[in-house]
Amino acid sequence: MRENADTRTRIQEIALKLFSEQGYETTSLREIAEALGVTKAALYYHFKSKDEIITSLVEARLHTVEELIDWARTRPRTDETRRELVRRYSEDLYRGRHHEVMRFFERNQAALKDHPVMEKTRDRMFELITFLVEPDDPTAIRLKNSMALFALHASWFMLRDDTLPDDERRAAALEVALELVQR
C-alpha cells in the first residue's frame, strides 16, 4: 500500500512540475509517464486523466479548508476568532506543496477556470471569508477583511525573490493579513 502512495505522490510531483513548466493543456499523460520512467498503462493504474491528477492535488487542500470552516462555525464571531482563523490558514499554506499548486494555478488560469475543482475551491474560499466579515460591516471593512486571505497567497506571487526564506515570507504575509483584519 505504501508503494502505491509513493507512486501517486511521485506522479503528482512530476505532473505538477510539467504542468507548471509546459502548461496544463500542452502536457500529455505520455510525457508524465516518460518523465517517471513508467508506461502509460502504469500511470493509468493511478490516474485515468490529467483532471484526476489536478483533483488529487487540490483534495487535501480543500479538506483542510473545510476543517477550518468547521472550526470557525464553533467559535464566537470575534476579532480574536478572525485573527486565529487567519493564523491557522497561514500555517496550512506553508505545509506540503501548496505554494507549488498555487503557482501552477496562476500559470494555467485560462485552462482551469471552468474545471470543477476550481469552482469548489472558489466556493470554499468565499465560505471561509464569511467568517472574517459581518453582513452589516461597511463595504470597505468587508473588502479589507476579505483581502487578508489573499495577502497570505500573494506572498508567493508578489515576493518572487527565490532567496527569501519561507519563514520570512510567511511572517511578512501574516503581519499584513493580521493588520487587514483589525477593526
pLDDT at 3: 58
- The alpha-helical segments, DSSP class H, found in the chain are 2-22, 29-36, 40-46, 50-73, 79-93, 98-107, 109-112, 116-129, 139-158, 166-180
137: buried, middle or exposed (CB in 10 Å: 19+, 13-18, 0-12)? middle
Statement to judge: residues 75 and 113 lie in one domain = yes
Statement to judge: residues 96 and 32 lie in one domain = no
Model's pTM, two decimal places? 0.82
Statement to judge: residues 128 and 61 lie in one domain = yes
Statement to judge: residues 76 and 108 lie in one domain = yes
Give the count of domains, the chain: 2
115: helix, strand or coil: coil
**Per-residue pLDDT band at 166 (split at 50, 70, 90):** confident
Domain hosting 35: range is 1-48
Statement to judge: residues 115 and 167 lie in one domain = yes
Statement to judge: residues 64 and 118 lie in one domain = yes
Statement to judge: residues 169 and 143 lie in one domain = yes
CATH of the domain at 36: 1.10.10.60
Q: Which of 5, 181, 175 is CA-nearest to residue 90?
A: 175
17: buried, middle or exposed (CB in 10 Å: 19+, 13-18, 0-12)? middle
pLDDT at 108: 80
Statement to judge: residues 19 and 82 lie in one domain = no
pLDDT at 116: 84
Quick one: DSSP state of residue 75? S
Q: What percent of the chain has pLDDT over 90?
A: 55
Statement to judge: residues 160 and 115 lie in one domain = yes
Quick one: DSSP state of residue 131? T
Mean pLDDT of the chain: 88
- The three grid cell numbers given for residue 106, joined into one nine-digit string: 496562476
pLDDT at 75 > cutoff 70? yes
Q: In the predicted model, what is the mean pLDDT of residues 38-60?
A: 90
pLDDT at 4: 61
Cα(89)–Cα(84) distance, integer angstroms: 8
